Each structure stands twice: as structure tokens, then as C-alpha cells.
Amino acid sequence: MFVPSRSSLLETLVDRLADLPSIGRKSAQRLAYHILATPMEDVEALSRVLLEARRGVRPCTECGNHAETELCAVCSNARRDKAVVCVVERPADITAFERLGSYRGVYHVLGGVLSPLDGIGPGEINLANLFSRCDRGVTEIILALGTHAEGEATSSYIVQRLAGRTLRVTRLARGLPAGSDLEFVDEITMQRALEGRVDLRR
């Protein structure tokens, strides 16, 4: 048979790129060809920035968000309200709130959700820190975990563990997403939207 026409360095690059999430074999190939046609200094910059970000970014000691110093940009901001703590699964979830520009509280990143089948119990995620933070002037915990089974179970666990304390514990509203066409809304969302219906005249 024929010898393959591509160089092995190129193959290795394609393999590595294809390991990244949501990048298929074909996209990886397109990216690799792009990189070979990119000026050397830009490839050097990309290569360097990958390492610098991975080496320089670490968890905030207070909340677990990505940080370059001991505290993340939110925790070290004197204008944020440290009494309101929004509990999220991952640092990426924080950007969804920050985009709003209206949330003034801080965050707590669990780094995962409870999943007994995968061996993830309360000790495996950043829960102990959350409970100890609650002893330091927190007035509200907003649970903002995913609405899948593990997210719900984790929220329930937190609610139970905070049962004796006087702080407010809330969760995000559930219902129809913006722009939804009722015909295509799934049953669980519809059920929750119905259960959570609000009076317009009261």
C-alpha cells in the first residue's frame, strides 16, 4: 500500500488537538494546517501562553475560582458583597453570572457535584470550605448547580447540612428559558414551569 502523505510531526499535532473537547478529527486537522501556516512568533506565543496559564492559574484559597494570586479577582474586590455566596460547580459557571454585570455577591466553586456512583462523596468536592465560610458572616447561600440529578442531590445535601443555621438558602428559579417555543419544551421543564407559575394579579 501507499505510504501516508502526512508528516509524523503533523500527525502528532493533529492527535493532540483532537484530544481537546469539542474538537473532532476534522477540526483538529484544519487547526493543524492553520498552525503550520501561522507565523513562527504567533505559534511561539500560543505555545507559551498555554504553559503560562496552566502554571500561573491556581484555585482561589477562599472560593476555589481561578486565581493568579492567593485570592481571585472577585474575592479580592472590596466592592463585592462577601455576605452573599453563590455556589457553582465549576469556574466556567462564574462567567455566566459575571456577564450579567448585576450580581454583587461572591462565589464558591465546588469543583464537582456529589456522584456516589463515580465515587464522589462530600469529601471529594470543596464542601468543607463552604461550611466554614458560612461561619464567617454569610447571610445568603444561592445554590446555582446544574438541574441534573447530581446537581439536585448536591443542593439537597447542602440544604440538609445547613439546617441548623439562620442564613438564607435559595436556589435559582426554574422554568421556561428565554425565547422558547412551547412546542419544543421538554416535559420536566414544562412541569417545573407549571409548578412554579406566578400570579400576575395579586
Nearest residue to 89 (alpha-carbon basis) of 128, 55, 63? 63
| Binding status of residue 66 toward a copy of itself by CB under 8 A | yes
Give the C-alpha separation, 15 to 102, whole Å. 42
| Binding status of residue 56 toward a copy of itself by CB under 8 A | yes
Q: Which of residues 98-127 bind a copy of itself (CB under 8 A)?
A: 98, 101, 104, 107
Torsion of CA 86, 90, 92, 95, to 10 degrees: 10
| Binding status of residue 89 toward a copy of itself by CB under 8 A | no
CA distances from 78 to 73, 118, 179 (A): 10, 39, 36
Query: Of 28, 67, 130, 143, which one interacts with a copy of itself (CB under 8 A)?
Result: 67
Q: Is 155 within 8 Å of 88 (Cβ atoms)?
A: no
The cell for 184 is 419544543
Query: Of 62, 84, 86, 91, which one interacts with a copy of itself (CB under 8 A)?
Result: 91
Interface residues with a copy of itself (CB under 8 A) are: 1-10, 12-13, 16-17, 19-23, 27, 29-36, 38, 40, 42-57, 65-68, 72-74, 77, 79-80, 90-92, 94-95, 98, 101, 104, 107
